C-alpha cells in the first residue's frame, strides 16, 4: 500500500472521505444534482447574483472586449483598465484610500498575512479563522499565536506577552462555519492600546451585513480604524476573485511584497466585469440585502420552532451541529433525497465532534421553501 493509499484508507475509516458533487443545473436557488431537484441550501451566493441576467451579460461583454483571461500577472501585463476601475469602485464602497485585487480569497489572505507579519513580529489569529488565514500565518516569518475563539481576554494576554514586538491581529469578521461575529470593537481597542495592526476578512460580511451590505467594519463604525479589510468577489458579489482595502502605503507595500499577487495571473476579465455589475446592483438595490436578511430570519425562526438550537437573527449562515461525521453525511444524503441540498461539513473544516449541516439562506430563496426545508430537516433528524 502506498502512502497515498494508506492516507485515503485512514480518511475513509474516520468517516471523513470527501468526494466532489456535480451540479447539472442551477437556477433561482435550486439545483439539479444526480438527477434530483433540490433547494440549494449550502451556497455562498448570498444575493443570488451569480445567475442574475445583468451580471451574466456583464461577464459576457467583458469577455468580448478583453478576452477570456488577463494573460499575465498584475506586475507584468495583467493589470487591465477594468481591474483598476473595480479597485476604485470597491475602495469607494468600503470607504478606504486604496484597493488591490487578487485572484482569490485564499490568495488574498495568504499573501497579505505573510507579507505584513514580518520576521521578529507576532501574528495573533482567532482559533476559528478560515484556512486561508491559517496558511497565511504558516507562511509568515512572524511567530504565530492562536487565541481562543472571540476571546478578548486571551487576545489581551497574548498581546501583553508579545511585548514590544510588532504585532498583527487577524480575524474573520463573520466566521464561515458558525455565522457568528468577531468582537471587532474590542479587537480594535486592544490594537490601539498595543500599537498592533488589524486585518479583518469580510468574505462573509460584504453584501451581507452593515449599511447597504458594506460589512461588519462599516456597521460598527470602524472604517478607518481597521488597517486592512479583505473581501471576496465570489460570495455575495457572485463572481470570482478577491480584494484588499487599505491605505495607499500598504497598497504599495503589498504590490511589492505579496507573493500571491506578484506570482499569480491577474483575475480574468469576465469575472471582473461580473463583479463590477454585481457591485452596482448592491449599491443601487439595498432591498436585495434586506431580502437576504428577511429570509435568514424566516429560516432561523422556523428551525427554532422545529426544536433546533438556533438563535433568532439575520445571519444567513445557520449551523445544525450533528456531531459524528458519519451521522452528518447520512442526514445530508437523506435531506437530498427529500429535496434539500445541505452539504455536511466535517473535520478538519470544523473541530472534532462538531460535524454539521451548514445551512445558508439566500436572497433569491422563496420564504415558503425555507420553511418547508426546515420542516423537512426536523422530520429527518
Cβ atoms of 128 and 109 within 8 Å: the answer is no
Label the pairing between strands 228-232 and 36-40: unpaired
Asked if residue 7 belongs to a domain, the reply is: no
**Residue-level pLDDT at 1:** 79
Asked if residue 33 belongs to a domain, the reply is: yes
Residues 109 and 190 in one domain: yes
Single pTM value for the model: 0.95
Pick the catalytic residue: 83, 94, 235, 365? 235
The residue from 284, 315, 344 where one domain ends is 284
User: How far is residue 207's CA from residue 334's CA, in Å, rounded to a whole number?
Assistant: 32
Mean pLDDT across the stretch 58-76? Answer: 97
Q: What is the pLDDT of residues 77-99, one digit of tens each?
A: 999 999 999 999 999 999 999 99
- Local confidence band at 381 (pLDDT 50, 70, 90 cut-offs): confident
CATH number at residue 336: 3.90.1150.10
Residues 61 and 38 in one domain: no
Cβ atoms of 148 and 125 within 8 Å: the answer is no
Asked if residue 14 belongs to a domain, the reply is: no
Residues 256 and 290 in one domain: no
Catalytic-residue membership of 94 = no
286-305 vs 367-380: helix crossing angle, rounded to 10: 30
**Residue-level pLDDT at 27:** 85
Pick the catalytic residue: 176, 234, 271, 355? 176
Catalytic-residue membership of 271 = no
Pick the catalytic residue: 83, 204, 251, 365? 204
**Residue-level pLDDT at 34:** 85
Q: What is the pLDDT of residues 263-294, one digit of tens each?
A: 999 999 999 999 999 999 999 999 999 999 99
- Name the residue with cell 468526494: 19
Residues 290 and 280 in one domain: no
**Residue-level pLDDT at 83:** 98
The residue from 245, 265, 284 where one domain ends is 284
Residues 274 and 298 in one domain: no
Residues 279 and 293 in one domain: no
Contacts of the segment 143-147: beta carbons below 8 A, 24+ positions apart: 144/117
When divided into structural domains, the chain yields a total of 2
Catalytic-residue membership of 204 = yes
Q: What is the mean pLDDT of the chain?
A: 96
Residues 36 and 164 in one domain: no
Residues 72 and 212 in one domain: yes
Reading the block at residue 298, the C-alpha cell is 424566516
- Local confidence band at 141 (pLDDT 50, 70, 90 cut-offs): very high
Judged against a pLDDT cut of 90, whether residue 367 lies above it is answered with yes
- Name the residue with cell 439539479: 32
Residues 126 and 220 in one domain: yes
Amino acid at each position: 500500500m502506498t502512502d497515498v493509499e494508506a492516507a485515503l484508507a485512514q480518511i475513509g475509516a474516520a468517516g471523513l472521505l470527501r468526494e466532489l458533487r456535480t451540479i447539472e443545473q442551477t437556477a433561482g436557488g435550486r439545483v439539479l444534482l444526480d438527477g434530483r431537484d433540490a433547494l440549494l441550501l449550502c451556497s455562498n451566493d448570498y444575493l443570488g447574483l451569480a445567475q442574475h441576467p445583468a451580471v451574466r451579460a456583464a461577464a459576457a461583454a467583458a469577455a468580448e472586449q478583453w478576452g477570456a483571461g488577463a494573460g499575465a500577472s498584475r506586475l507584468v501585463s495583467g493589470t487591465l483598465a477594468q481591474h483598476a476601475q473595480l479597485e476604485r469602485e470597491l475602495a469607494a464602497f468600503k470607504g478606504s484610500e486604496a484597493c488591490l485585487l487578487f485572484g482569490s480569497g485564499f490568495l488574498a489572505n495568504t499573501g497579505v498575512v505573510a507579507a505584513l507579519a514580518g520576521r521578529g513580529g507576532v501574528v495573533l489569529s482567532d482559533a476559528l479563522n478560515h484556512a486561508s488565514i491559517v496558511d497565511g500565518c504558516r507562511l509568515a516569518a512572524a511567530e504565530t499565536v492562536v487565541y481562543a475563539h472571540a476571546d478578548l481576554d486571551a487576545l489581551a494576554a497574548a498581546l501583553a506577552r508579545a511585548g514590544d514586538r510588532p504585532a498583527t491581529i487577524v480575524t474573520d469578521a463573520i466566521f464561515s462555519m458558525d455565522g457568528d461575529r468577531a468582537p471587532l470593537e474590542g479587537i480594535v481597542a486592544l490594537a490601539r492600546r498595543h500599537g498592533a495592526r488589524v486585518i479583518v476578512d469580510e468574505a462573509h460580511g460584504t453584501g451581507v451585513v452593515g449599511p447597504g451590505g458594506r460589512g461588519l467594519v462599516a456597521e460598527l463604525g470602524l472604517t478607518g480604524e481597521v488597517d486592512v479589510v479583505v473581501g471576496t468577489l465570489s460570495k455575495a458579489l457572485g463572481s470570482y476573485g478577491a480584494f484588499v482595502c487599505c491605505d495607499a502605503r500598504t497598497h504599495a507595500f503589498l504590490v511589492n511584497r505579496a507573493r500571491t499577487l506578484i506570482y499569480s495571473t491577474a483575475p480574468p476579465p469576465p469575472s471582473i466585469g461580473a463583479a463590477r455589475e454585481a457591485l452596482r446592483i448592491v449599491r443601487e438595490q439595498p432591498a436585495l440585502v434586506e431580502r437576504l436578511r428577511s429570509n435568514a430570519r424566516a429560516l432561523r425562526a422556523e428551525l427554532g420552532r422545529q426544536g433546533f438550537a438556533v438563535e433568532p437573527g439575520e445571519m444567513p449562515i445557520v449551523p445544525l451541529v450533528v456531531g459524528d461525521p458519519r451521522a452528518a453525511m447520512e442526514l445530508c444524503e437523506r435531506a437530498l433525497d427529500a429535496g434539500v441540498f445541505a452539504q455536511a461539513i466535517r473535520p478538519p473544516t470544523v473541530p472534532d465532534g462538531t460535524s454539521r449541516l451548514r445551512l445558508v439562506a439566500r436572497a433569491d430563496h422563496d420564504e415558503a421553501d425555507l420553511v418547508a426545508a426546515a420542516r423537512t430537516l426536523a422530520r429527518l433528524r
